[in-house]
Structure 1
Amino acid sequence: MANDLTLFAQRLLKFDPAALIRLRASQAWGQLPWGVLVTIDLPSAVEGDRVVTAADATPSDAKWRGTLPPAASSTVETLPAALVLNAAKAAAETLRELTGRAGERAIRDALLDHEVITGESDVDGTPFVVSQRLVQAMVRMGFVGSAEVEIRRAGPWTGLVTPAGQAWLRSASQLTVRPIVNHLNGR
């Protein structure tokens, strides 16, 4: 467990020196700076639900922000690993070509939001969208090898899953806010 968790912590620290790890049941969770949750399975369950710093395992329960995806999920599609790796490579090449130009951050954000894969489950018709955010999380955390990559859905969450790890992204809220117009003091 220590080796897997140490490697996971090191990978998280590459992206954020203040990274946190949430230990819950038999999983370790982390959050990447671009809004994706990543997790690995641990060989044995941990007691309780606790948060520690990735750098030195200092208890940091109060610092964790956000929720985790539900434990139950359904597979809606299976992809060859090469497809995911090629999508990440294409994004990296695009960013490299445009480096140094005005608006580089906007280009990077647009690439992360790009919908790499869209579809509908053959089993139950569940629609799904995989953004470059998820692809980058899987590749940069070292979760994509030769095994196929499953696309999973769990409520508003979409995940990419391999034996090495998982990446999850919650879709934007469907809540809409309408302004109150033509009403004095909101009445």
Structure 2
Amino acid sequence: MNESRRLRYEITDWSQVTDCLSNNSKDLKLRYIEISDEDLVGKLIMVEHNVYGTMFSCLVECRGPILSTLSPMDDLYHILPMDEILAELRKFGFEIFFKREKKLTGDQLSYLMNLDQLGFEKIRKLTIVLPYIPHQPKYRTIVVGFMACSHPKWLDNTYQCPQTEYQKAVDAGTVVNLTAISQSQNFDWSFLGDFVLSINDILAVNSI
């Protein structure tokens, strides 16, 4: 196929993959299934062929007792990076890219540059599990920058952090609460969605 005529798609959520067509074969299609029950919560992306059946499937943003963790000592699941999933879809002719809107001001970009230089290479919305107090909130969600080598569990976007673990990270200086400073600086983190993003990638996108 002429390169200029190849089908390319920009999506903002995995649910949109069903609208994408393959450049390789009309017999290939993408399916998307959301699962939410007591055994499993997750999003299933599948490449299906009319003759050969399921060629590839991947479960993302998942949790539940049906899944095994990487180690009996923790609750971290193996997560296939988004880039690897998109590369696998490209193998079957699906040219799909995640669209990241550029909403960042110069001040916000400068702040992210400073974080990156200090070693806070990742950013995400983090749900913190609060100690149980009757009639009080059980969770709070904030935006954090963090050092991935110190917090590998936080690379799982479904991971919820106990308050004690978060406080240890604050004391160790391996996390910074971006929600707190955003209130005074008017920073907008809505583009994060439910993903764990690399600060370097955000800076690269905003430099185009």
Same fold (TM over 0.5): no
Higher relative contact order (CA 8 A, sep 6+): 1
Q: Bigger radius of gyration, 1 or 2?
A: 2
